[in-house]
Amino acid sequence: MSRTIIIGDIHGCIAELKELVAILKPSSTDTLVFTGDLIDRGPDDSGVVKFLIETQSKCHLRCVLGNHDEKFFRWLDYKEKASIIVNPVKPPEDSNWERLHKELNQDELNWMRNQMEIIIHLPNVDTTIVHAGIPAHFTRHVPTDEVFNPITIKNYTWLRNTATPKQRDLYKQLLFTRRVSSSGYPITLEKQTDKDAVWADLYHGEYGRVVFGHAANPNIVDYRYATAIDTGCVYGGYLTAIILIDRNTAPYFIQTKAHKSYVTSKLQDYGN
């Protein structure tokens, strides 16, 4: 029996990741997918990347691009340009990108650039995986066929080098959307209020069920057509996996408890 296993945001929590994967025991018939934000805040970013590269020899492994991952690569792009004296992309306070850059070789960095997709659709379980969310603004402009049958893999390299300005604007929304306006357009974090709708409240299943991370929550949150599985491991919560068998079998969850709180808690309860 093949399984689709989707694991929430890791944020450098290598010990918890190894524990969870040891429990899951993915095999060659399984698909293992990660919701992005492999790095920042936790203790061992490079260890997470190296472990995923190692694990892909045991199963079919895929990963979506998170907002932290994308910002790291924008920073790295500028860093690698000798003509740039001052890098305009500033690392978050809870990151150590210089260390990560030194600890990963070029093949490992290229793996991240090319392996981490912006959106993944899995037709056998009628499920789409993104890092943050799919606002109604995106569904109005991107036909389902572009998501279900992509001509090209939409990874960081595509986003940076090939995407049109309109595509770049639309697809980057999948990396950061939490709350949206009444018209379904993403609201920037600093302008959001608790009165604004979570994107999943306005999502009607255009791309099947969506599994996502990004907005750390103390609990798994189920919406009508979406499931949020970032349960704040790096904040002392849990690392969560949702396991899907097929379209007709109810999913189930497996979690590992964080060994400690690596940073001050920012867990927010978004309800459902």
pLDDT in tens, the chain (272 residues): 899 999 999 999 999 999 999 999 999 999 999 999 999 999 999 999 999 999 999 999 999 999 999 999 999 988 887 666 677 888 888 789 999 999 999 999 999 999 999 999 999 999 999 999 999 999 999 988 888 888 888 999 999 999 999 999 999 999 999 999 988 889 988 898 888 999 999 999 999 999 999 999 999 999 999 999 999 999 999 999 999 999 999 999 999 999 999 987 665 554 43
pLDDT given for residue 80 in this prediction: 80
pLDDT given for residue 208 in this prediction: 95
pLDDT given for residue 267 in this prediction: 59
pLDDT given for residue 217 in this prediction: 93
pLDDT given for residue 17 in this prediction: 98
pLDDT given for residue 143 in this prediction: 87
Residues 6+ apart with CB under 8 A from 46: 99, 100, 103, 104, 108
C-alpha 183: how far from chain center = 24
CB neighbours (10 Å) of residue 46? 20
Residues 6+ apart with CB under 8 A from 106: none
pLDDT given for residue 258 in this prediction: 96
Cα separation, 212 vs 214, whole angstroms: 7
